[in-house]
Amino acid sequence: MGLRIQSIQKVYPDFRLQLDFEVRQGEFLALLGPSGCGKTTTLRLIAGFIDPDSGSLHMNGRRIDTLPAHRRRIGIVFQDYSLFPHLNVRDNIGFGLRMQGWGSKDAKERIEELLRLVSLKEYGKRKVTRLSGGEQQRVALARALAPRPQLLLLDEPLSALDAKLRKNLRKEILRVQRELSITTLYVTHDQEEALVLGDRIAVMRDGHIEQIDTPKRIYNRPRNLFVATFLGQANIIRGRLAKREGELAVVQTPVGTLRVSPSQAEEFGASDEVIVFFRPEHCQMGGTKTNRINGRVVQKEYLGSHQLIEVESNGARFTLDLADRVTLVTGDTISFSVSPHHCCLFLQ
């Protein structure tokens, strides 16, 4: 049954949080959004650190917003880990167990089980102040999991780590989550983390959810321009919807006539001002005559296995994500195309 956030509102003088969504049983849901959009406030509401003004929270069919934080059976990993510096690894992990009155034998077995789970079996007696950032993150995860919570909340737990370590540890987090099948809500502003970790992604802005769906659908079929431009790189061009042409919608733009599949245009009418959106990796050099755009290379960025090419066409700029073997230099005149089925339409 998972977690159900039902018509929750929290109002501040300069900010309003309005939420209605669910985290399915055993799901890993990534809550993605810019700073200040309400991600951490959402976690604090769920955890019981602040109270909503209205609405309700249900976990596995049981209402929990009326319960104090310590009775909600929620494990939390904070951004700064919040470990106890005077305690060793084993005692940090077992802190919650002692607070809940676990017997020493059961607590010891649970601590050893978690040390193995997070690959810190030989670290039990070590002071947490002698651990690396990645090791501290694992201790924080183990401590959150120790009392067998029904829900795991993670508030940007990898943000203080370098890029390589982040990639390694997100695999570990996902491994642990899959092994335990624990319902998980993971807050991040990192697009790549959300795409890699999430069974689904909830994109948040200004206190509400803009779209919640699988990573693939969020990326390829964003609901609006904010989602399209926040998650990944985006090419956009403004135009006017002209007509339907068989199975395609025809849009007049400054770079020529572009066609979009009708499934993306059904809600629009003739002469509507629209925005055509497509991803850099969906662009092909040359290609078909449909949606062909001519332009001049103004910048290139070499990224090893691929390159980003910036093209200017009639005042508009587009980014192409091309294979390394394509040879282009600044000033080259090129043409590229994009399939109508890789384009989306949004109202201006």
DSSP 223-265: SSHHHHHHSS--EEEEEEEEEEETTEEEEEETTEEEEE-GGGT
Q: Tell me the whole-structure pTM to 2 decimals.
A: 0.92
Q: Which of 108-122, 210-224, 242-256 has the lowest mean pLDDT?
A: 242-256
Provide the residue type at 55 as one letter.
G
Q: What is the pLDDT of residue 164?
A: 87
Positive or negative torsion for Cα 297, 301, 302, 306: negative
pLDDT at 163 over 90: no
pLDDT the model gives residue 15: 96
Dist. CA 239–CA 291, nearest whole Å:
13
pLDDT at 12 over 70: yes
**pLDDT at res. 327:** 85
Q: What is the predicted pLDDT for the residue at 160?
A: 80
User: 157: burial class by Cβ within 10 Å (0-12, 13-18, 19+)?
Assistant: buried
Of the segments 1-5, 14-18, 273-277, which one has the largest average pLDDT value?
14-18
CA distances from 340 to 109, 250, 325, 328, 337 (A): 58, 10, 26, 25, 9
Average pLDDT over residues 259-270: 68
**Res 185: pLDDT:** 98
Rounded to the nearest integer, the mean pLDDT of the chain is 92
Report which secondary-structure segment, H or E, holds 21.
strand 15-23
Does position 264 have pLDDT exceeding 60, yes or no?
A: no
For residue 262, name the pLDDT band (cuts at 50, 70, 90). low
Instruction: Read off the pLDDT of each residue in 245-254 and give the average, rounded to a whole number.
Output: 88
Indicate the length of the chain as a whole number. Answer: 348
Compute the average pLDDT of residues 111-134: 94
The full set of domains in the chain, from first to last, is 3-229 (3.40.50.300), 233-347 (2.40.50.140)
Among 78-87, 202-211, 227-236, name the most confident range. 202-211
In three-state secondary structure terms, 179 is: helix
pLDDT at 263: 57
pLDDT digits (tens, 9 = 90+) for 16-62: 999 999 999 999 999 999 999 999 999 999 999 999 999 999 999 99
Say yes or no to pLDDT of 7 above 60: yes
